[in-house]
């Protein structure tokens, strides 16, 4: 089956969903799977289901499926917890690998939680660590030989600007630093070759392009050759070599399982497992070609028909992920007016209107229909309606 594969999703009528970069839509089969896990596995099997339904290995089985989408070998991806926690875990493990160095290098375009987690970790270890956040454009040249860890998000959540994973990883390694990539806006959005990049760690979430649903578990990758020496900062019992031996001392598992922490979220993991079925037979290069075509068409039409909007994403498709952003002074109100008319994107402070393009369920006709509505909202200033001016808690 080629793209799009809209039939695999439960999308509401009359909606053009351009927000899969924030929360992917509901894949068909996910609700039935949740129902089955709840009523049959949990309801009738009760605690036996840890064995009879093999709940205990579900994090690993789902991790293997994600690995296939990000160019990682089976057995190298652990799932669970949230992305914020996985950032902390990767960062703590990376710092242990360079005990003589004190600098964590990221950039000021990174998603705030990644930077907050780094700051929190620094205050916990309290050893004169420093978090440096130059601009994304400057970060490569800031990789010097006192940097312990380079921690970057590949695709910028606001602008869609994309870092060159292979080049920056190579530069980090040449300077003796450990590399961590956050794939929140990459996994399921663009082709990723983790093993080829040689990065030590990667982390990501599964509720964006992987359609795992709100609160779906995160994932963490560790390069296979370093896993046996990786020190899990968050040493939970399910990362132990033998959790049910109930030993007093911690002995990490000899596999990626050591990056597990506590009891896995079985219902969410099951939903994610079902959601991953939509990827069967998808060629990531073919997906990328479709994404670029949709984004190019969108940029071209919006720029010619809505001069009030200014492109905030890189113009060169090679430097852009799977989303297109425009700045507009009245962006929040305009986005509310669009959502009211069935075109769902989102808004990021201070003035960014964000549109995600996912060829799994968005095609050229959807993009053209969305553009017509955007033109109407902007040209006729429909966003001026007072009902679009009040900000909700989540934008
Ligand atoms: C979406 C996103 C997060 C969110 O972290 P959670 O712990 O899942 O809330 C973190 N980092 C980046 C780069 C993101 O895009």
The predicted structure's pLDDT at residue 2? 80
Q: How far apart are CA 60 and CA 264, in angstroms?
A: 10
Catalytic residue among 101, 341, 354, 355: 354
Mutate to test the pocket of ligand 1, among 204, 205, 215, 220 (most ligand atoms within 8 A of CB): 205
| Strands 218-222 and 201-204, sheet pairing | antiparallel
Residue 300 reports pLDDT greater than 90: yes
- Report whether 179 contacts 134 (CB < 8 A): no
Atom of ligand 1 nearest to the CA of 86: 7
The predicted structure's pLDDT at residue 127? 82
The predicted structure's pLDDT at residue 392? 86
Q: Averaged over 269-275, what is the pLDDT?
A: 98
Residue 381 reports pLDDT greater than 90: yes
Span from the CA of 86 to the centroid of ligand 1 (angstroms): 10
Span from the CA of 204 to the centroid of ligand 1 (angstroms): 7
Residue 256 reports pLDDT greater than 90: yes
Global pTM?
0.97
Q: Which two tokens stand for residue 368?
A: 């053209």
Span from the CA of 12 to the centroid of ligand 1 (angstroms): 26
Q: Which residues line ligand 1 (CB under 6 A)?
A: 82-84, 111, 113-114, 153, 157, 182, 184-185, 205, 218
354 tagged catalytic: yes
Q: How far apart are CA 1 and CA 4, in angstroms?
A: 9
The predicted structure's pLDDT at residue 379? 97
Confidence of residue 394 (pLDDT cuts 50, 70, 90): confident
Mutate to test the pocket of ligand 1, among 157, 209, 213 (most ligand atoms within 8 A of CB): 157
Q: How many residues does the chain have?
A: 395
207 tagged catalytic: yes
- Nearest CA owner, ligand 1 atom 15: 184
3-state secondary structure of 364: helix
Q: Averaged over 118-128, what is the pLDDT?
A: 93
385 tagged catalytic: no
Span from the CA of 56 to the centroid of ligand 1 (angstroms): 25
pLDDT tens-digit map of 70-81:
999 999 999 999
Confidence of residue 1 (pLDDT cuts 50, 70, 90): low
pLDDT tens-digit map of 186-219:
999 999 999 999 999 999 999 999 999 999 999 9
- Report whether 143 contacts 177 (CB < 8 A): yes
- Report whether 255 contacts 239 (CB < 8 A): no
Q: How far apart are CA 8 and CA 6, in angstroms?
A: 5
Indicate the average pLDDT of the chain.
97
Atom of ligand 1 nearest to the CA of 153: 13
Give the count of beta carbons closer than 10 Å to the beta carbon of residue 120.
Answer: 12
Across 284-311, b (16+ Cβ under 10 Å) vs e yields: beebbebbbbbbeebbebbeeebeebee
65 tagged catalytic: no
- Report whether 91 contacts 118 (CB < 8 A): yes
- Nearest CA owner, ligand 1 atom 11: 111
The predicted structure's pLDDT at residue 329? 96
- Report whether 345 contacts 312 (CB < 8 A): no
């Amino acid at each position: 089956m080629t793209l799009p594969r809209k039939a695999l999703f439960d999308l509401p009528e009359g909606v053009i969903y351009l927000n899969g970069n924030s929360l992917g839509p509901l894949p068909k089969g996910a609700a039935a799977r949740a129902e089955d896990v709840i009523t049959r596995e949990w309801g009738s099997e009760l605690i036996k289901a840890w064995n009879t339904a093999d709940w205990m290995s579900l994090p690993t089985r789902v991790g293997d499926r994600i690995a296939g989408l990000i160019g990682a070998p089976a057995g190298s991806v652990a799932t669970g917890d949230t992305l914020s926690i996985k950032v902390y875990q990767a960062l703590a493990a990376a710092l242990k690998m360079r005990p003589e160095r004190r600098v964590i290098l990221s950039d000021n375009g990174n998603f705030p939680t990644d930077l907050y987690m780094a700051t929190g970790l620094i205050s916990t270890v309290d050893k004169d660590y420093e978090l440096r956040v130059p601009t994304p454009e400057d970060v490569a040249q800031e990789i010097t030989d006192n940097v312990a860890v380079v921690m970057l998000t590949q695709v910028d959540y606001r602008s869609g600007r994309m870092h060159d994973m292979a080049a920056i990883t190579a530069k980090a390694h040449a300077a003796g630093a450990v590399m961590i990539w956050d794939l929140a806006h990459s996994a399921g959005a663009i082709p990723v070759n983790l093993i080829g990049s040689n990065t030590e760690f990667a982390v990501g979430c599964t509720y964006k392009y992987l359609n795992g649903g709100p609160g779906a578990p995160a994932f963490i990758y560790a390069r296979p050759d370093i896993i046996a020496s990786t020190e899990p900062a968050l040493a939970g019992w399910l990362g132990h070599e033998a959790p049910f031996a109930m030993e007093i001392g911690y002995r990490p598992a000899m596999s990626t399982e050591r990056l597990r922490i506590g009891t896995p979220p079985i219902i969410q993991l099951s939903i994610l497992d079902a959601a991953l079925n939509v990827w069967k037979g998808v060629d990531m290069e073919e997906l990328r070609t479709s994404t670029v075509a949709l984004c190019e068409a969108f940029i071209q039409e919006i720029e010619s028909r809505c001069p009030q909007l200014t492109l905030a994403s890189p113009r060169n498709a090679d430097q852009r992920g799977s989303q297109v952003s425009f700045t507009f002074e009245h962006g929040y109100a305009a986005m509310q007016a669009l959502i009211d008319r069935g075109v769902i994107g989102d808004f990021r402070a201070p003035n960014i209107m964000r549109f995600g393009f996912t060829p799994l369920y968005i095609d050229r006709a959807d993009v053209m229909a969305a553009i017509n509505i955007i033109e109407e909202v902007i040209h006729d200033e429909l966003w001026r309606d007072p009902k679009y001016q009040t900000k909700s808690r989540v934008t």
